[in-house]
Amino acid sequence: MIAQRMQISDRHWWMWIAGFWALILFAASGPTIERTLLPVVSKFEIIQIEPDGIGSRVFARFEKWRSCEYLGINWNRIRPDGTTQRVFLNLKPVGDMSGSTRPRGKHIAGPWYVGMSPDQIRHHSEATITYRCHPLWITEIKVWP
């Protein structure tokens, strides 16, 4: 009985190797494919930027297409040499106890307090949101610009 099982697995060893490499390829390319073909949200449309004492208040419009758990957002200033620098960002006013994961649909968000001038936000920044849609990986979506 054991000898028969060994013969079967010896005969189909190439299927195990192909399956192993298919799994590695899926894990390596899955996040890129998901980000491209199944984004969680649309790009932001910034509808208003107001200068504030320490930066700017930003209001944006976007659409959420998938029900995924919101994990966070990074807003970065793009420096002249091409490197990025993470900036101060506050999404909620003090005392706001609402949840951070939004339902699917169209949304207007803000004010968000971003530690940059309106010109820097419009021309020298980028924003990326991270979501957990399933247990395999974290989904990152570039939403601005």
CATH number for the domain harbouring residue 80: 2.60.40
Residues 73 and 92 in one domain: yes
Q: What average pLDDT score do residues 128-140 get? A: 93
pLDDT at 138 over 70: yes
CA distance linking residue 56 with residue 117, whole number of Å: 6
Identify the domain containing residue 15 by its residue range. 2-36
Residues 85 and 131 in one domain: yes
User: Residue 57 contacts by C-beta under 8 Å, 6 or more apart in sequence?
Assistant: 48, 49, 50, 110, 111, 112, 113, 114
pLDDT of amino acid 6 = 52
Residues 11 and 66 in one domain: no
Residues 72 and 32 in one domain: no
Which two three-digit tokens encode residue 64?
Answer: 């959420």
Which two three-digit tokens encode residue 111?
Answer: 């004010």
Residues 16 and 32 in one domain: yes
In 3D space, the residue among 111, 69, 109 whose CA is nearest the CA of residue 94 turns out to be 111
Residues 83 and 131 in one domain: yes
Domain count, the chain: 2
CA distance linking residue 72 with residue 1, whole number of Å: 54
pLDDT of amino acid 68 = 94
| In contact, 40 and 94? CB cutoff 8 Å | no
| In contact, 144 and 127? CB cutoff 8 Å | yes
- The 10s digit of each residue's pLDDT in 98-118 is 777 899 999 999 999 999 999
Residues 132 and 69 in one domain: yes
pLDDT of amino acid 5 = 55
- The 10s digit of each residue's pLDDT in 23-75 is 888 778 888 888 899 999 999 999 999 999 889 999 999 999 999 999 999 99
